[in-house]
Structure 1
C-alpha cells in the first residue's frame, strides 16, 4: 500500500495498460464520486459524460436507496439504471422503478434483528424497501426522513421483504459494530458498512455490489477484465475484487487501500475524474 500511496501523492496516478480504456466504469458515490459536501464537481460530471460519449458504459453502484439517485439522473447514461442498496436493487433512475431485487426474507430478517438486539441491546433498527423507508421510533436518523416514513417497532418494519436492514449504535465505530454484528449473523445474511457513523447495513445472503454488477455487465456482454471500479469503504470490497482493475480513493478505509490495485486522489480532489481523464485521454 505504501508504494501506491507514494505514487499517488507524487502527482501521477499509475494506469495499468491492460484496461486502457475500459468498457465499463463502476463507481461508488459517497466518499468516492461525491465530495464530502454531497456535491459532484463540474470536473467529475464532465468526465463522466465524456467517457459515455466515447462509448464506455458508466454505472453508479451505491449503498444509497433509490430516492437518493433521482438528482443524478443526468449521469446514468443510455441504459438509465443504477445499482442501489448495496446491490439489492437494480433501479431504473429515469422511470423511478425497481427492475430487479434481491430482498431479505421477513422471517430471516426478524430472526436476525432479534438476535442482534439480544447481543447488543443498545442498537436501533431501520429498513429500506424498494419503495419505502421505515425506522424504529428511537432510531437516530442523520438525514431528513421521507414524508411517508414508516415509524414502527422492528416486528412491523420486517413484516415485508426489505432491501436493507440498518443497525445503528449510539456510540460504537462502524468497524466495531460490524465485528459484533458479524459474529451474531454469520452467513445467514450479508453484513457490511459504507463508512456511516455507527451504522451497519445488512442485505440478504449473497447480495453485494459485485453480484448485481456482474449480472449487469454480463447482460451488456462485458467481462470483469474489461471493467474498472472505484470505492472507499468495506461494502465496496467485493466490487473492487470483481473488477479487472480496482481504484481505492485516497480517503478510503484501510482495508480498501490494502487491496486496491491503484490508490487515486481523494473524493474531494476529484480522484475518479483524475483517473478517467488519464484513461480516456480527456482534456
Structure 2
C-alpha cells in the first residue's frame, strides 16, 4: 500500500508564474522524485486540460494526473480513467452552441469548456444546471457536482493511500482540501484557502511544495504534527 498521496494543484502551487507562463523548477522536480522514491505517490490535480500542465517530463511514468477535476485521470502507466457522466456530452454540445450564439470565446478540454470570467455569461449558463467553477478570473464549465473533491475521491479509489495530503492556492482548491486528510495552503494562497488549511507554508508556489515534502520525508511520528510542528 502507498504510504502517502500528495495531491497538488498545478497553477501557482506546483508551478510558478513568470512572464513566459508557468514553470515547474528543477528543484521542485528533484524534491518530488525523492518523495516518490520513498514509496509515496504524487498527483497533479487541476481543473485544466492536459495541455495546461507542462514541465513534468522528468516525472513521466511516476505521476498521477487528475485533469478537469478528475473527469480524466491518467495513471503512471499511461492508462486513462474516464469519469465523465454519459449524459454530459449532449449537454456540453448544447452549452457549446449557446456560447457560440452569444459570441463568447471559449476553449475546450477533453470534457470541459473554458471561458474568461463574465458575470452575465455565467448567469446565463446557470440555467443549464452545470458546474461553473471560477479560478482567478477563468471559468471551467463541467458536469454538476464535479469539483476537485471529486478528483481526490477518484484518486483514492485508484491509489488506495493510507493518507491524502492536498495543497492549493485558489478558490477552486477548497473542495480538494476539504476532501483530504491534511489540507495545506501555499503562502501565496487566497485568504479563503488559508482559512481552512491545517498548515500554511512559508514559501510561495513550488517552494511551498518543497517545504512540505521535506517535512514529510523527515517525519517519524504523526503526520499532522510533522507538518504543523
**TM-score, normalization: structure 2?**
0.78
Aligned match of 2:17: 36
Aligned match of 1:193: 134
- 1:124 is paired with a residue whose SS is coil
Gaps spanning 5+ residues in structure 1: where? 1-21, 130-162
Deviates more, 1:253-262 or 1:271-280: 253-262
Could you tell me how far apart the structure 2 residues matched to 1:77 and 1:101 are?
Answer: 21
- 1:222 is paired with a residue whose SS is coil
- 2:145 is paired with a residue whose SS is coil
Alignment CA distance shift 1:93-1:202 (3 Å): farther
- 2:189 is paired with a residue whose SS is coil
Aligned match of 2:141: 202
User: Are the aligned partners of 2:187 and 2:205 in contact in 1 as well (CA < 8 Å)?
Assistant: no
* Structure 1 vs Structure 2 CA RMSD: 3.0
Q: How big is the shift at 1:45?
A: 1.4
Q: Does residue 1:221 correspond to 2:160, yes or no?
A: yes
Could you tell me how far apart the structure 2 residues matched to 1:248 and 1:165 are?
Answer: 27
Could you tell me how far apart the structure 2 residues matched to 1:205 and 1:89 are?
Answer: 15
Q: How does 1:86-235 map to 2 (within 5 A)?
A: 86-92=69-75, 95=78, 98-102=80-84, 105-112=88-95, 123-129=104-110, 163-169=111-117, 177=119, 181=122, 184-185=125-126, 188-195=129-136, 198-222=137-161, 226-235=163-172
User: Are the aligned partners of 1:73 and 1:93 in contact in 2 as well (CA < 8 Å)?
Assistant: no
Q: How big is the shift at 1:185?
A: 1.5
Aligned match of 1:57: 41
User: Are the aligned partners of 2:45 and 2:70 in contact in 1 as well (CA < 8 Å)?
Assistant: yes
Q: How big is the shift at 1:58?
A: 0.8
Paired residues in the alignment total 213
Could you tell me how far apart the structure 1 residues matched to 2:189 and 2:140 are?
Answer: 18
Alignment CA distance shift 1:186-1:54 (3 Å): farther
**TM-score, normalization: structure 1?**
0.64
Alignment CA distance shift 1:27-1:77 (3 Å): farther
Alignment CA distance shift 1:166-1:24 (3 Å): same
Gaps spanning 5+ residues in structure 2: where? 220-229
- 1:205 is paired with a residue whose SS is coil
